[in-house]
Structure 1
Amino acid sequence: MEEQSRRTFLQNAGLASFASVSGITAGPERVKELFIHHVFFYLKEPNNAQHEAQLLEGLHKLAKVPTIQYVHIGKPAVTNRSVIVKDYTISWMCFFKNIIEEEIYQTHPIHLEFIEQYSHLWEKVVVYDAVGPKNVG
């Protein structure tokens, strides 16, 4: 019985550690809504490597906004299915704990400076924002 209690203690301690690192709160009543902000940039000159490099530089600076939990910067994949959209130049996806954290990001000086310094590079952006409970599945 002593070994079982020790094992249970270690399992519970491990789960508690994981919960504190991942932001999970105890109990179903405290599930937070993860906020995902996905932006697709369409450069004015999509084949201009210098402009693409400048935008990437700006996005790496933008990733320093403190409320961002995770960032992914990407380019269209080489997949070929009829439902896949590949007409953008650069994709920027970032995760926030909730909508409040994303709203802070929208008005953060780093974000405003990014728009001011790099918006001349793109002809349009398309944004998809999504919310949902954390850790589904």
Structure 2
Amino acid sequence: MITHIVFFKLKDGSRENVAHTAEVLRNMEGKIDQLKYIEVGVDVLHTERSFHIALVTKFESMADLEAYQVHPVHQEVIKHMAQVRESAVSVDYES
């Protein structure tokens, strides 16, 4: 398995904007065959070093992760995230 984790800091950290963006991410569930697991978490601490949203996804292989990256549903999410994110960091590892 490949685990892909991304943390997002949004330009607008309002409760409404964070909730909407989290829903955009969750909306990928069941729409991309290669996506075996998805979890979207919203930060509850709201500290200076906090990111607003965490995305955890799992794939059977690197090939599946690569297919996810170019999938049309994910490409639409990328467009949304490009508009709303201030920054993002990620890590990918074998699990």
Question: Per the shorter chain, which TM-score range?
Answer: 0.7 to 0.9
SS of alignment partner, residue 27 of structure 2: helix
In structure 1, the partner of 2:51 is 88
TM-score by length of 1: 0.61
In structure 2, the partner of 1:105 is 68
Aligned residues: 91
SS of alignment partner, residue 18 of structure 2: helix
In structure 2, the partner of 1:70 is 37
Identity of aligned pairs, percent? Answer: 27
Runs of 5+ unmatched residues, structure 2: none
User: Which of 1 and 2 has higher RCO (CA within 8 Å, sep 6+)?
Assistant: 2
**1:51 partner letter:** N
Partners of 1:61 and 1:75 in 2: CA distance: 15
Shift of 1:75: 2.7
Cα distance per residue 1:61-85 (max 9 Å; x no partner): 223322111111113365xxxxxxx
Runs of 5+ unmatched residues, structure 1: 1-33, 79-85, 133-137
Shift of 1:101: 0.5
CA RMSD of aligned residues (A): 1.6
In structure 1, the partner of 2:26 is 60
**1:76 partner letter:** D
Partners of 2:26 and 2:79 in 1: CA distance: 15
Moved over 4 A (4+): none
- The structure with the greater share of residues assigned to strand is 2
Shift of 1:54: 1.8
Partners of 1:36 and 1:120 in 2: CA distance: 25
